[in-house]
Amino acid sequence: MASSRKQNQMKPAAPGAKLQLKWVRSAIQAPVKQKLVIKGLGFTRLNQVVEREDTPSIRGMVAKVPHLVEILSN
């Protein structure tokens, strides 16, 4: 049977591409796993902007906490 899961429609990243990520919502009431994802992305303060390489692992981390972070630029 076909999978009912939505397929991610993101285009592949160019080599050396960067993502600018902004932490927009507090993780105080978030589960511990989501707090660890925020820490793993390198955030230390709310409203902080960090630049990370555009890799599948980083995109996967962002996909786990889309309600806490936003992508500023691709």
pLDDT in tens, 24-71: 999 999 999 999 999 999 999 999 999 999 999 999 999 999 999 999
SS3 content of the chain, % helix, strand, coil (to 5): 25, 20, 55
CATH superfamily assigned to domain 18-73 = Ribosomal protein L30/L7 (3.30.1390.20)
pLDDT over threshold 80, residue 5: no
At 15 the pLDDT is: 77
At 69 the pLDDT is: 97
At 24 the pLDDT is: 97
More confident residue, 5 or 32: 32
